[in-house]
Structure 1
């Protein structure tokens, strides 16, 4: 499946093209009575497993005379959408009552196939004039006349469409089945052939909702009063965390620093030969370059790129690009913005690597390009193989894989190299207020709680506690069927996350230096990024305690892609933590006289 012209334009015109949506066959969405309004069947799958979806006609439904596949954008394909013409004909303003779709004799194998789908609570998804339509394939009923453990399975054979219109526009559509009507369903409990008459009916109703607001109802669920109350509670909880943390820094850390400055100033005036203690004692080692500086610079480059990526995504969300069921817009934005911001990763990594007096900048660029994309690519290869084995719509067609490869080869990689060349030639110098001694001082023995892992646990807990309430709604939207639209609240929570991460990293860096441990570079990065590990721990809790997801495919998709997301958060927040710690360390060592 190849990109359409819209997908090629999107590489050059980022904001305008991401805002573009996939239009229906009627370009202006206006119709005359008896006009054929496009209806496309999308996919079916278990309701509890959002990643495990299949093509609509993988189940033995009635096939239309001519099955037409809808051309899809890159984001739609990544989203698992596979739209084909549906067997129902819903003409504009034409009511129908028990219209026959087809008479079908289900074989024993087809009955078993439908029964398996009903048992797994399969739902279907269609799009009518770009409006989503859902429904369930059937229902399961406990058989009280026989063994209580046995069930009866019913397949819905009649589907009723309620459609609202305003003048010449379709405004709303819903699909329902009569669960208690025996004539609207057929028993498929036994392994035997069944004759089924698939029928549907249509009822049109007038409404005064304007066409511009027809998508508003899909965002109302996340804006209900009780949901807003929980969201604001999340923000209040986060703000209290920030206030407590900033209060701690203001009253304790700043006071300690002030006393340190006074003490070191008095030491200089009274006894030049007095032995130095505390963080001043290691002024000749604190700016000693870290081990594995090429990897460190690459991590900073990737983290900076991901930070800019998240900021752009928030901008697009706040201006209204990601409204409900703008199919594939988020995935398109992620691919395009990541490709266009790869120059930031190259420039940041090469520039910082040069400041650390690194020589092999080509290897540094290769490491930068592979540090995040490498694990993501390996993870994708495994998960796409799983999807192919399941024959699910999550498996990307070969043409889409080629398009993504071309974007990486023709956009991402060249921009990474150009950014790297610009960073290499920037000739920036590392600004260290203290001279570094020739030989490093020995780090004194420290208690266990000052080692890396306990410090990471302390550093990650507070930022995670500031966002964990909002995390549930994000997970329920991404890995469920809820709709998330309150991006302004999410942006506030994101800002709080950055502030808390920076502050806690600064505090732990000070305590590390006060204990005369000068290896703070990697420690500050790991402590800042440790929130990503807490988020992955929340994934375990959400999967086993808050969701009903099951099966190898859904489990591998959930934990596989969440591992990549949490790894991205680790790199991004690690970069934020290190930058804050670097600013703090430079400030305190500029404030004292170092020989």
Structure 2
């Protein structure tokens, strides 16, 4: 049986390492990034959209820019498509080290409805994004003149018609590119009327000493500025203080109480064997009574373990430098592939634990495990993809991409889940309980309201959330904004602290529950451990309405829809951590006393 486990683990590790090298190799058509003077350098137009709505993006030529008769699309990797990238050949030609002064792209007669389309885009702060030799370029397509005007009807709307490109090179390689719009080359699109627009661009090349290997550094500098680093370290210090306070609480209070309990129970055994037991020892015949809905419980533990393994592998890839700035789609590719590869972990853990709980219908348990996280994620995706299709946004996945994901789920995720389930079924592991369970359960005494499940979840989730909430802002600003997050080492430290605090607070609450002679701790420990996910979703509400400028039905749907899936994943993962910590604790204290 150990051989089968080892084979599964080796397969997962090999696949992850292959993924590391594969993702790192995503590049432009010019794979070596070396060019001769006058040689064309690939320039792709990607997308346009409202600056404050990162999910609401559209194809570049959805706006009536100068476009060729046949738009040539660039073939993209899975992660790029999932990221909403739709790269096409741009109308600008920036040959290597060739300066241009005001070259005409095209002269286009805009119809009144096209003018209205541009005006609406300018009003919503539309930006464009391009990639030149894999380097990102941004710029706004126009501006609104509000100076000296209080009535919106008096605003003037202008479209930029001239883009100037500043390109830096070192030897035969492109190092940096910036796009600037000419504030003097404007077209008034305030009124619906037919106008003729001459779109222009210019290019200026300059030499630099920056080496090619460091050309991406400027995109990660904002995360490394002293001010931001100071806040990140403050976040870690805040988290460490939380951990120290919590561990201090456990060391001075909980361990002392446990020591007194052990002494008391040992004295009771020596003085009067027929004396009635009280406290957590009183329920030793019920504490290891298996939970209700054991199939669902085992599925939750299996799925949570898989998500924990997925998170660890993602951190490994991040720490070795795979997710460097603008490595398009690398994170999404890694999430899809590693989730598929780790499904065997979910199958093995869920089924083996289900059999330890004396379950019999392991096939139903395996189906429940496979659908527990994927099911809600699939339903959310179907709804949001439909919304994106209605909006004609690039977030709408093409049929081919959906087919690829279904094939991955069919050919990789499902078989590995089944193989893991079979391995778990054949593991023949038994549940290790230091106390014998009685035939009939004891009645749980009436408890005050604050010992109920929901108040306990609120107490359990607050401390772990307080340890990470500062770092959450930067993560949200990166995922749902235009900031770049690169300090993965700090994020990993915060993640470890989150796990420690979750485990400790769950153990503490489990002890107080057992001391109150409430032996139904299994589900309670899982719910308390996972309650941080609910706090994170509450922070989503605060971030959306107080810290961001996102708006519109599509952006709101995408934000709260996908964040619900992320927070649900955190709930399963941290719930598993909390339950495992509580299980170790309960086994330890009941092994330390004489229960028979």
After TM superposition, the score normalised by the length of structure 2 is: 0.97
C-alpha distance in 1, partners of 2:17/2:399?
26
Q: Which residue of 2 aligns with 1:496?
A: 497
1:471-524 per-position Cα deviation (integer Å, ceiling 9, x unaligned):
000000000000000000000000000000000000000000000000000000
Structure 2 contact 149–155 (Cα < 8 Å) conserved: no
Per-residue CA distance 1:181-221 (angstroms, 9 max, x = gap)? 2xx11110011111110000000010000001100110000
Tell me how far apart the structure 2 counterparts of residues 334 and 285 of structure 1 sit (CA, whole Å). 41
How many angstroms does 1:346 deviate by? 0.1
Match of 1:422 in 2: 423
Are 1:41 and 2:49 an aligned pair? no
Please name the residue that 1:260 is paired with: 261
Map of 1:405 onto structure 2: 406
Shift of 1:68: 1.3
Three-state SS of the structure 2 residue aligned to 1:291 is: coil
Q: Which residue of 2 aligns with 1:69?
A: 73
- Give the match for residue 549 of structure 1: 550
Q: Deviations over 1:132-152 (max 9, x none)?
A: 000000000116379465210
Deviations 1:352-382 (A, max 9, x none): 0000000000000000000000000000000
Provide the C-alpha distance between the structure 1 equivalents of 2:458 and 2:258, rounded to a whole number of angstroms: 25
- Change in CA separation of 1:25 and 1:285 when aligned onto 2, cut-off 3 Å: same
Q: Go from structure 1 to structure 2 and tell me whether the alpha carbon gap of 1:159 and 1:222 turns closer, same or farther (over 3 Å shift).
A: same
- Following superposition, the deviation at residue 21 of structure 1 comes to 3.7
Distance of aligned partners of 1:13 and 1:255 in 2 relative to their CA distance in 1, 3 Å threshold: closer
1:88 to 92, 115, 128: 92
Q: Distance in 1 between matches of 2:511 and 2:20?
A: 46
Could you tell me how far apart the structure 2 residues matched to 1:334 and 1:430 are? 33
Structure 1's consecutive aligned runs of 4 or more residues displaced over 3 angstroms after TM superposition are 10-19, 143-149
- 1:25 matched to 2:25: no
SS at match of 2:373: helix
Find the counterpart in structure 2 of residue 154 from structure 1. 158
Structure 2 residue 451 is the aligned partner of structure 1 residue 468:
no
Partner of 1:567: 568
Counterpart for residue 3 of structure 1: none
User: What is the CA distance between 1:177 and its match in structure 2?
Assistant: 1.0
C-alpha deviation, 1:27, in angstroms:
1.5
Deviations 1:33-58 (A, max 9, x none): 00000000000000000000000000
Tell me how far apart the structure 1 counterparts of residues 148 and 269 of structure 2 sit (CA, whole Å): 90
Hey, what's the Cα distance between the residues in 2 that align with 1:295 and 1:148? 56
Q: Is the 8 A contact 2:20 2:317 kept in 1?
A: no
Give the equivalent residue in structure 1 for 2:131: 127
**Equivalent residue, structure 1, for 2:237:** 236
Query: How much is the aligned-residue C-alpha RMSD, in angstroms?
Result: 1.1
Task: Confirm or deny: 8 A CA contact 2:550 2:556 kept in the other structure.
Answer: yes
Residues 273-284 of structure 1: matches in 2 within 5 Å? 273-284=274-285
Unaligned runs of 5+ residues in structure 2 are 1-13
- 1:200 match: secondary structure: strand
* 1:145-184 superposed matches below 5 A: 147=151, 150-179=154-183, 181=184, 184=185
Whole-Å separation in 2 of the counterparts to 1:12 and 1:594: 47
Answer yes or no: is the 8 Å Cα contact 1:19–1:321 preserved in 2: yes
Partner residue, 2:270? 269
Partner of residue 309, structure 2: 308
Once the two structures are TM-superposed, the CA of residue 66 in structure 1 deviates from its matched residue by 4.4
What is the CA deviation profile of residues 309-330 of structure 1, one whole-angstrom value per residue up to 9, with x for unaligned ones? 0000000000000000000000
Q: State which of 102, 114, 121 in structure 2 corresponds to 1:117.
A: 121
Relative distance call for 1:469 and 1:143 in structure 2 (3 A) is closer
Cα distance in 2 for residues equivalent to 1:424 and 1:189: 70
**Alignment TM-score, normalising by the size of structure 1:** 0.97
User: Separation in 2 of the partners of 1:304 and 1:540?
Assistant: 28
What is the match of residue 439 of structure 1?
Answer: 440
Q: Report the CA distance shift for 1:226/1:58 in structure 2 as closer, same or farther (over 3 A).
A: same
Query: What are structure 1's unaligned runs of at least 5 residues?
Result: 1-9
Query: 1:52 is matched with which residue: 34, 52, 56?
Result: 56
Q: Which residue number in structure 1 is paired with residue 112 of structure 2?
A: 108
The 2-side partners of 1:146 and 1:195 are apart by 30
